[in-house]
Chain A
Amino acid sequence: MQDVTKIGILYSTTGPYGAMGRDGWAGAEFALHDWVAAGGTGIELEFVDAHANLSDYLVGARSLIRDRGCRNIVGTITSSARKEVIPLVEKHDGLLWYMCPYEGFEANENVIYLGGCPNQHLIPLLDHLVPRHGNRPYLLGANYVWGWEMNRLARELITKAGGQILGERYLPLEETAVERIIADIAEKRPSFILNNLIGPSSYAFLAALRRLGERDPAFLPENCPVASCDLTECELLDIEPGAAVGQLCALPYFDSLDHPGNRAFKARIQAWRPEFTHISSIFAGAYAAVTLCMNAIAVCGSDDPILLRRTLVSRAWPSVLGDIVIDKATHHSSLPFHLGRITADAGFDVIASRPAIAADPYLTGDRSRQAPFLRVVS
């Protein structure tokens, strides 16, 4: 009997970011389904639900590595969960596959980063917004490192470019009392709003801002858009109907991307489970991570992280996110930039795109890292 290689999947399907965890979970399941349908064998997935509890991430990762024989774990959504799991993965020389956008300033040998850091999402987003809407934004964030750091960087970039931050406010993940923020925004009249809130507080804010826009058109999305880097299709149905329509989000994948690869991807998902009608970047990211992991295992003939790392950085890997190129030094993937505008049917219209951008997690400005093996060598 052939040996089976196990890949751990670690997400929370409940809690304030449960919708994302459920999509990550489903994306991983579909990746295995797709792999088997294409004749792949020898891989099994081991799932752990961490229930949005930090210590459960640690317990779950430990169980995956020690008891269930997983040397590769795909998962975690938040930076705090990722930071919780990394020391354990380092200790056992495993690999963590992380596929969410995050705030950068990390490059760990035992992590493969597939979700994007600020030079792949925030910076091109500001490049798009400032010339069109002005350089006087208002910054919002979850009371957590993602919000703090994204807003710190936005403040630095905007201020250096001669702009001005009109306000900066933070809310806990589950806080929905947004009236004071709305009143402040109504008074200060920013050019646009950078929204790094997460979950229920973000939904409450979008609904309250929509009502402000109904009273004063200066705050409608076409005049003062709300832009974020983490609002995906899987959450749009949790927002009051119509409240988020017209607002913007920067992500490496949208359901509506119109190219043959994505059409085929969605058709296969439809045949698998017809209820998955809106594919998020979380679903696509987990799918891409698990698929890449399985492909690399197949090429290496092993799930040894040292061999996998060497193989991963040696070539480009076609994926639903485009060709994935993993930088040898940073372990971050290059990613395309797409800007989506929320539609009335809980999807996004892609209104701007840029081809894949190499990750620069420490914002060193080093361009020599860009896809070294794609360079013409004479």
Chain B
Amino acid sequence: MINTPNFAGWRAIILAEEDSNIDRLRRQLMLLGVTATLQWLPLSIDDLPDLVVVDADRGWDELLPWPDGKPARPVVALLGSEAPGRIAWAIGCGASALIPKPVSVSTIYPALVLAVASHLQRSEADARVARLEERLRLRPVVFAAINRLKSERQIDDEEAYRLLRERAMDRRMPLEQLAALFVGGSNALKDVG
């Protein structure tokens, strides 16, 4: 780990009710520089904190404003129960780290680091999947562009693909985008080739 994880100046919302576990959690968060507020009402999508801690023993479905397993912020679950239904609920709200009850202060910092790192990994993976899905979606367009190049210029598959890729690099745009322009009737290839 190159950078020491630091939560100073972060804002956290704890979705739970006041008790001795929450007291210990708040004290430790304060020590880590995190400003924590407590509420036992659904989280508003318009005012998201940097981090969410949620009581997974008692939480209900509308408590978090995002769809199942798609957290918009790192989520840490507070959990005393071993019931699979409660663990599943924590997974559903996007929790990627756990603070067991009764809260032992030594579990809090590692849980925050883990939740934030997992959230980052998840966001990066989601973005990569989205990019790949977009490219997959545009495959037929690339295929159509290659076919048109082949018949217009009497070249083979490989040559058509090479042409398309080189022009895309010249113009600093994804191959799929250039193919879409070409198929859409633009002179995208002519003016340079």
Contact = CB atoms under 8 A, between A and B. Distances in A.
A152 B85 CA distance: 6
Interface string A99-114: 0000111100000000
Contacts of A143: 60
A148 B83 contact: yes
A268 interface: no
B84 A152 contact: yes
A366 B168 CA distance: 61
Contact of A149 (B60, B84, B102): B84
Contact of B82 (A87, A105, A152): A105
Interface string A66-106: 00000000000001100100010000000000000001111
A145 B80 CA distance: 11
A55 interface: yes
Interface string A15-45: 0000000000000000000000000000000
A145 B83 contact: yes
A106 B84 CA distance: 11
Given A55-B19, A145-B57, A105 B83 contact: yes
Nearest to B104: A87
B81 interface: yes
Interface in B99-136: 101-102
Q: Chain A contact residues (Cβ within 8 angstroms of B): what range?
A: 10 to 19
Q: Chain B contact residues (Cβ within 8 angstroms of A): what range?
A: 10 to 19
A105 B81 contact: yes
A149 B83 contact: yes
B19 A106 contact: no
Contacts of B101: 83
B86 interface: yes
A149 B85 contact: yes
Contact of B84 (A55, A80, A83, A105): A105
A103 B83 contact: yes
Nearest to A106: B82
Contacts, number: 35
Interface string A45-69: 0000000001100100000000000
A219 B101 CA distance: 43
A214 B127 CA distance: 59
A348 B57 CA distance: 34
A83 B81 contact: yes
B86 A87 contact: no
Nearest to A143: B60
Contacts of B57: 80, 145
Given A55-B19, A87-B102, A149 B80 contact: no
Contacts of B85: 145, 148-149, 152
Given A55-B19, A83-B101, A145 B84 contact: no
Nearest to A155: B85
Contacts of B81: 79, 83, 105, 145, 149
A50 to B, nearest CB: 15
Contacts of B20: 55, 58
Most buried by A among B19, B80, B85, B88: B85
Given A55-B19, A145-B57, A83 B80 contact: yes
Interface string B53-70: 000010010000000000
A157 B86 CA distance: 18
A190 B82 CA distance: 30
A154 to B, nearest CB: 11
A54 B20 CA distance: 11
A313 to B, nearest CB: 22
Interface in B133-159: none
Nearest to B87: A105
Contacts of A145: 57, 81, 83, 85-86
The 4 closest A-B pairs by CB, nearest first: A152-B85, A105-B82, A149-B83, A87-B102
19 contacts: A54-B19, A58-B20, A79-B81, A80-B57, A83-B81, A103-B83, A105-B82, A105-B83, A143-B60, A145-B57, A145-B86, A148-B83, A148-B85, A148-B86, A149-B81, A149-B84, A149-B86, A152-B84, A152-B88
Given A83-B101, A152-B85, 10 more contacts: A55-B19, A80-B57, A83-B80, A105-B81, A105-B84, A145-B81, A148-B83, A148-B85, A149-B85, A149-B86
